[in-house]
Amino acid sequence: MKRNPRKVKWTKAYRRLHGKDMTQDSTFEFERKRNRPERYDRNVTENTLKAIKKIDKIRVDREERHITKRMKGKKAKEQREATKELEQSIHMVKAPSVLVKEPSLTLPTKVKVSQKQSEENRMEE
């Protein structure tokens, strides 16, 4: 069965199209195959090996920035989704009659417990 590679999630074309992989990075041009014989010079080879290390470091830094940029809003998005889900399905957590009596249960709120109250609760248990 033929499929469009831009729609199949594991293909390189899909990842490029949806911004999952870095495609515009100039450091990828250094990895191209070259099928022509090359004369080697010791100085040029030494400089090239030094440059490879620098280029590799640059590529790693760019990849890290790319990943952090993609994951930037994930935590806030998850929080919004959790709040929305809780608002929509609060009836599953609490009975509707309790929600009518106490409207404070509709959204989660933080409760401050004083040190004395927590100690009294421990002694009762």
pLDDT tens by residue, the chain, 125 residues: 888 888 888 888 888 788 787 766 766 666 666 778 777 889 988 998 999 899 999 989 998 998 888 888 888 888 899 999 888 887 677 666 776 677 666 555 555 656 665 556 665 65
Alpha-carbon gap, residue 78 to 10, rounded angstroms: 24
What per-residue string of b and e applies to 52-82 under the rule 16 or more CB within 10 Å gives b? eeeeeeebeeeeeeeeeeeeeeeeeeeeeee
Per the listing, tokens 């990842």 go with 15
Question: Does the predicted model carry a pTM greater than 0.75?
Answer: no
Contacts of 9 (CB under 8 A, 6+ apart): none
